[in-house]
Amino acid sequence: AERAPFARALDAALSADAALIVANDADAQADGGAAGRVVPLSRLLATVPRTIDAIHEAIGPDHLAKILFTSGSTKLPKAVPTTHRMLCSNQQMLRQTMPELTREPPVLVDWLPWNHTFGGSHNLGIALYNGGTLYIDDGRPVPGRFDETVRNLREIAPTIYFNVPKGWEELTAALERDAVLRDTFFSRVKLYFFGGAGLSQAAWDRLDRVTEAHCGERIRIMAGLGMTEASPSCLFTTGPLMRAGYIGLPAPGCDAKLVPCGGKHELRFKGPNVMRGYWHADVDPHDVFDDEGYYRSGDAGVFADPARPELGLLFDGRLTEDFKLSSGTFVSVGPLRAHAVSSGAPYVQDVVVTGINRDDIGLLVFPRVDACRALAGLPADASVTDVLRAPAVRAAFASWLAVLNRQASGGSTFVARIRLIDTPPSLDLGEVTDKGSLNQAAVQKHRAATIDALYDPARRDPDVIYA
């Protein structure tokens, strides 16, 4: 196959002496300048194989199983060497955390990509480790693709269902209107699990309502905190709290600690599931691990109740996303973003918090266009710009901004201006990851002109709503 489309990934993952396998001799000759030793597939096919038992016996727990790239939610992706020990230990943590996995072989219906740790390590691993079944869902929670997920779930009933928050929001809406989907989906599902990002309280409550209306009781919603570097799980919501923002307690066998860092407390982890270092990354090891060997996650956490640490932790944002205003006031992006999205339901999809070295906080708002279109009363062929400029829509967002600021405690949480964005975040530009998480830095980089207009005192942008 041609190397060019994959050149960046190959250069990041391959060492100078690594073998690069290409489809045929012609590709090998054309790619002679590639990093690593080029080997045509025909040479491998001519190899006399050993017995599979001999191959298995030669593989140990610390042999490389695969290389996964981080998702790039807050910075450029890095290659993580993932060993058999990391994967197996994390699956045992999951098995001890979720009793449902031991009671019957799990049945999963899953769209999540295998190049990401949620789909490729967590969910695929659950099916393999527990003798389960994984149906690959060709849908995904994006416009025009979720109908396929609904079709699959009308036919196949999962025992546990995993998705990112956007997927749960789309599924909840489908469950509310589709009786056949409800009958199949609820027939044997025992547990819900979300990951990749935080589920808003509004979405959580809505899912509880549709579940209780059909089943007569709620189904437990679980989450936690995970990352590619920990293959992936570190915390699970095994404690008694059931609400948005709760990330729970350490997974069995994974040690966690909170370390003061820039006015917050960074979560750090150590265990058999945690990597030993990035693959060929130009980073200082001291920036990755502390003196005690704990991985520095860059995530912040706080105790749900400092007087009762056994209840577990709440997510307190990403350290790298936080910033200061021109006044020196520190802005904690994670909690502010989560509150804005939750309170903005059903019209707010996500927000990017602006204001680095500026006088006040602003928001770039990615709206739920379908909900806004219904509010505006405009036809399906009306442009997104016309929808967002409709008086009813602007009034709804102005009201949301007022509600948001009534709960503000000062300059660190007061939102002075918002700008409704009529183009969705770009996957190609890295503004959004394949799991649906916004990269705050990438959005601000690629929409710098929009942010400048948001703060330009000489230009009253008609698409800006001021507090």
CB atoms within 10 A of CB 56: 8
pLDDT confidence tier of residue 404, bands split at 50, 70 and 90: very high
For residue 209, pLDDT beyond 80: yes
d(CA 76, CA 74): 7
Q: What does the domain layout of the chain look like in residue ranges?
A: 4-48, 79-318, 322-466
d(CA 22, CA 31): 9
Give the domain 322-466 fold: GMP Synthetase; Chain A, domain 3 (3.30.300)
The separation between the first and the last C-alpha atoms of the chain, rounded to the nearest angstrom, is: 55
Q: What DSSP string runs through 36-92?
A: SEEEEHHHHHTSPP--HHHHHHH--TTSEEEEEE---SSS---EEEEEHHHHHHHHH
Output the pLDDT for position 4.
66
437 close to 196: Cβ distance less than 8 angstroms: yes
Q: Which residue has the higher pLDDT, 177 or 460?
A: 177
Which residues pair with residue 191 across a beta bridge?
Answer: 160
229-250 pLDDT per residue, tens: 999 999 999 989 999 899 999 9
For residue 64, pLDDT beyond 90: yes
Q: Is the pTM of this model over 0.85?
A: no
Find, among 211, 234, 212, the residue nearest to 223 by Cα.
234
| Helical (H) or strand (E) element with 362 | strand 361-367
Could you tell me if residue 48 is left (phi over 0), alpha (psi between -120 and 50 degrees) or otherwise beta?
A: beta
pLDDT confidence tier of residue 35, bands split at 50, 70 and 90: very low
263-301 pLDDT per residue, tens: 899 999 999 999 999 998 888 999 999 999 999 999 999
298-323 pLDDT per residue, tens: 999 999 999 999 999 999 988 888 88
For residue 181, pLDDT beyond 60: yes
pLDDT confidence tier of residue 166, bands split at 50, 70 and 90: confident
Query: Torsion angle of alpha carbons 91, 96, 101, 104, nearest 10°?
Result: 130
* Gyration radius of the chain's alpha carbons: 24
For 176-193, what is the mean pLDDT? 98
Output the pLDDT for position 25.
63
172 close to 202: Cβ distance less than 8 angstroms: no
Output the pLDDT for position 321.
86
CA distances from 225 to 49, 104, 267, 312, 375 (A): 42, 25, 10, 12, 36
Output the pLDDT for position 93.
98
| CATH number for the domain whose boundaries are 79-318 | 3.40.50.12780
For residue 207, pLDDT beyond 50: yes
For residue 61, pLDDT beyond 50: yes
Of 24-33, 162-171, 258-267, 286-295, the range with the lowest mean pLDDT is 24-33
What value, to the nearest 5°, has the Cα angle with vertex 336 and ends 333 and 340? 130
For residue 36, pLDDT beyond 60: no
Q: Is the peptide bond before 61 cis (omega within 30 degrees of 0)?
A: no
d(CA 222, CA 435): 18
For residue 42, pLDDT beyond 90: no
260 exposure class (CB count in 10 Å sphere: 0-12, 13-18, 19+)? exposed
Q: Fold identical between 79-318 and 322-466? A: no
322-337 pLDDT per residue, tens: 888 988 888 989 889 9
Share of the chain above pLDDT 70, in %: 95
For residue 33, pLDDT beyond 60: no
Mean pLDDT, the chain, integer? 91
For 443-467, what is the mean pLDDT? 89
411 exposure class (CB count in 10 Å sphere: 0-12, 13-18, 19+)? middle
157 Cβ contact partners less than 8 Å away, ≥ 6 residues apart: 107, 184, 185, 187, 188, 189
For 100-111, what is the mean pLDDT? 97
What are the phi and psi torsion angles at 411 (to 5°)? -60, -25
For residue 364, pLDDT beyond 70: yes
Output the pLDDT for position 443.
93
For 436-447, what is the mean pLDDT? 88
